[in-house]
Structure 1
């Protein structure tokens, strides 16, 4: 039944004021102003207007409200969207979602419509199932008012709250003492400890030690995504209740008209941001047009953070053109720019996804970047890259093909690569800017490795670099155990002096004998297990170009 005018206004004011935040600090996204909506019902026409301080003022005529309730879903046209590809429809789109959120109704875009989204600082907040269908959405980034404002924000009605009484945590701790309303995501920070102190052209002073993990109502930690640091002191800890009902977003053909800004680290985040747990994105497409000689980078059209259980499937995305700038070290650097980003997220899966441009075209940056995530999965994906900047705990790549940027990661737990083809510079690259560290194991089975996409190179399976003279904020490890089964190395194209593929790249050319001392010692791999590894060159697998560095590694060959 339709609410009375007074109660309806109160309900909407209570539920529709949303603070849009982002955890993608590393990619440049920051807080944006609150998205505010006030809904009334009077005998005037149904309309969306922009009031004082940018507040959307929505009036829904009672007869229109009854018609929408009878239909069972909300259309953008109900709130004035033209869908003609020329009129800026973002206010109508945001108004439609605000009303749908208040009434608990799904939203459906009109089939074949083209919704133009111009420069306004406006975000449509999604809290109900949304079917974009075959509609087109043109997102014009050429002259935006706020490059940090998401176009769509998938948000929860549940609010985070501070936890009290917890003063410390231990790595792999199994339970926390807290009164919780149900399953929660726990985010904890110790600002006195710095981790991920980046080395190289994009050097920085690191990030405060942080972690995100899941607990049930009794405070039991999900040990599939365990606590990865000791917190001897805690400067901030909060709990976010997890939405248990699945929210689905289907369809949609999105095209971004790329920004023409100066090429520097001013990230654009005009995107679909997901900050709600238990979400499925199915059948979305995103393309990019208008990339020129210069432009600012993007923080991800799909931007997933502070949530758990997000699945993206049957989705087509697009790699962004690479632009250069001057990095923190005062030297030219290629800027990372992404169509996918995931930050502080657990159990994120990409299933049967691909990209529009050639995964081997080096003019386009690797499509994904992530930080502080756990249990990430690629399954049946064709992408240019998998990447974990500031750590991933457990990752799986299966039934997939990865292009010119391959697998780049640091982290912990188990990295599993199976039934996949990898066309990067190495089979797995341990990112040297974060210490080439992986505290755990690699399991690689039933794969094909095409070194550098088939270019003439000396192949190495595990890449990275570690000089031992930089403090990354943690002890750096190589995988304790590497197990490789049924690997075909397509190294038929190689230099004349090629001695055969190496298990390990030359991580430190200076470490030739006992006289070289690492200030910050590197914990080397203990064991490599090889079963049925074959090469197109016919040359046998060797340990490394630097045998001294890996002299204590046990290599078990079938």
Structure 2
């Protein structure tokens, strides 16, 4: 009798805990309700609300094992039956009990177009399983398939009315290390120029502090905020969450070719995450389609590493831009936004990094401390600013290195096959407020095509207000660079340090409405060319006449 009473009480306790936790997570996990009634373990929907019942016996079994698999909840894994509800339910239960999630070895999970996402808060091993993501009929293109999230809640900060560039501390007590995001919506920056012109983005910054508010100066505050309209602390999880393995295939959408971005991948919104051993392929791209915002999409977090991962570049499509003219649309397999200390290590792509039929694989905005190490990818790109970036032991394809930002940009032991070695993006003012170091590298201009080579390219008319003062790198140091310019035009005069940033600036009569702060000095050591022609300053020597070039 006593044994029966104890079992009944255990059942009630489990049922109560599971339902309560589900209520707290409803907004995050698409209204998943978990119960533990004395019935079989099953997953079903009721008015699009996901109902999950786990028998008390299975609860005890899963907790004792420390892990749970998709098949434990009824996943078929035959590549035809939509298993998304079961996948979401499995992760919801694992999150509740802190369990490892394992995909079933050799299974193929089909994921259709319904709106359902799986929230990952525990270690996940996708192993040798295959996931087919069918984007041909999607209910909500903005809904990620997997969202990696933290159980720690954001904290709205009060009584901070301003912060300053390079400020070392904010006066606020915190529960532990936090990622601080700050915005002043009254100031617009990154006011884009060109065919994709826009009115800019609200002034923003993101930085790490400890529990006492001390700023990590490896990723300092980069703007003065005279006003703050929003400031939030995102607590940083201290333990590393690991997501390993998995073979993912996206069946590409057939939507109209316009800027209606699809986000049907893995969204990482938690700090301290390792993604390792993953592969993403793309099938059935046709002559049109909407662009993608990144299969791996990292944002509002810190300390994320993507390692030993194979990705795929998306086909390039055109649309009518903001200026009313056709433009190619950016479309990405890697996307990083408002994030700090993000590393890509030993990553590559399935398609040719030199084939311009495919758009450059990575884009980023508002980031700090980005790293490529031992990567073979078609592009590194920082749109709306990166503070500090490092590319080493890597090969960059046809779109090369595109960057604007600040701090130190380091490229070493790498090969770049873009039209220039570093392109300072003209649509955001060709600005780099800091230094560039190029060391032990090879430059193959335009992948070996016949072009006039330049190391640093960009454009600045001085007539457009980008919302900030624009700078060229204060100092550029180039050591041990081999320029493979054997194929070049007949009138080739040799590679230039700088491209012609402003063909109209020929003498002192040209006036910039908005000042461009030019490079102070260039330091050169051991520069060799296949053409045997000497590295020269620029096709526009007047614009760069005050740059000091030192040869060691």
TM-score, scaled relative to structure 1: 0.96
Query: Quick one: which of 432, 444, 456 aligns to 1:450?
Result: 444
Following superposition of structure 1 onto structure 2, how do residues 9-88 of structure 1 map, counting pairs within 5 Å? 9-19=18-28, 35-52=30-47, 54-88=48-82
Q: 1:232 corresponds to which residue?
A: 226
Q: Distance in 1 between matches of 2:506 and 2:170?
A: 47
Query: Quick one: which of 96, 100, 104 aligns to 1:106?
Result: 100
Following superposition of structure 1 onto structure 2, how do residues 128-139 of structure 1 map, counting pairs within 5 Å? 128-139=122-133
Query: Quick one: which of 454, 458, 461 aligns to 2:455?
Result: 461
Deviation at 1:67, TM superposition (A): 2.1
Q: Distance in 1 between matches of 2:439 and 2:312?
A: 28
Q: 1:4 corresponds to which residue?
A: 13
- The reply on whether 1:324 has 2:333 as its aligned counterpart is no
- The reply on whether 1:189 has 2:217 as its aligned counterpart is no
DSSP-derived class of the 2:17 partner: helix
Deviation at 1:2, TM superposition (A): 7.8
- The reply on whether 1:405 has 2:414 as its aligned counterpart is no
Runs (5+) with no aligned partner, structure 2: 1-9
- The reply on whether 1:97 has 2:86 as its aligned counterpart is no
Deviations 1:308-350 (A, max 9, x none): 0000000000000000000000000000000000000000000
8 Å Cα contact 1:8/1:39 also seen in 2:
no
Deviation at 1:5, TM superposition (A): 3.6
Deviation at 1:72, TM superposition (A): 2.0
Q: 1:520 corresponds to which residue?
A: 514
DSSP-derived class of the 1:281 partner: strand
8 Å Cα contact 2:11/2:36 also seen in 1:
no
Q: Distance in 1 between matches of 2:51 and 2:339?
A: 34
Q: 1:31 corresponds to which residue?
A: none
Runs (5+) with no aligned partner, structure 1: 20-33
Write out the 4+ residue segments of structure 1 that deviate beyond 6 Å after TM superposition: none
Q: Distance in 1 between matches of 2:254 and 2:113?
A: 13
Following superposition of structure 1 onto structure 2, how do residues 259-278 of structure 1 map, counting pairs within 5 Å? 259-278=253-272
8 Å Cα contact 2:14/2:56 also seen in 1:
no
- The reply on whether 1:119 has 2:128 as its aligned counterpart is no
Q: 1:542 corresponds to which residue?
A: 536
Aligned length: 543
Q: Distance in 2 between matches of 1:184 and 1:339?
A: 28
Query: Quick one: which of 481, 485, 503 aligns to 1:491?
Result: 485
Q: Distance in 1 between matches of 2:31 and 2:550?
A: 62
Deviation at 1:118, TM superposition (A): 0.3
Query: Quick one: which of 179, 187, 190 aligns to 2:173?
Result: 179
Deviation at 1:521, TM superposition (A): 1.1
DSSP-derived class of the 2:71 partner: helix
DSSP-derived class of the 2:316 partner: coil
Moved more, 69-78 or 302-311: 69-78
Taking a change above 3 Å as real, the CA distance of residues 516 and 244 of structure 1, as seen in their structure-2 partners, is: same
Deviation at 1:168, TM superposition (A): 0.3
Taking a change above 3 Å as real, the CA distance of residues 2 and 318 of structure 1, as seen in their structure-2 partners, is: farther
8 Å Cα contact 1:16/1:102 also seen in 2:
no
8 Å Cα contact 1:449/1:488 also seen in 2:
yes
Deviations 1:246-275 (A, max 9, x none): 000000000000000000000000010000
8 Å Cα contact 1:15/1:157 also seen in 2:
no
Taking a change above 3 Å as real, the CA distance of residues 220 and 3 of structure 1, as seen in their structure-2 partners, is: farther
DSSP-derived class of the 1:4 partner: helix
- The reply on whether 1:555 has 2:552 as its aligned counterpart is no
Deviations 1:492-512 (A, max 9, x none): 000010000000000000000
Following superposition of structure 1 onto structure 2, how do residues 234-253 of structure 1 map, counting pairs within 5 Å? 234-253=228-247
Q: Distance in 1 between matches of 2:15 and 2:58?
A: 18
Deviation at 1:148, TM superposition (A): 0.5
Deviation at 1:17, TM superposition (A): 2.6
Following superposition of structure 1 onto structure 2, how do residues 501-520 of structure 1 map, counting pairs within 5 Å? 501-520=495-514
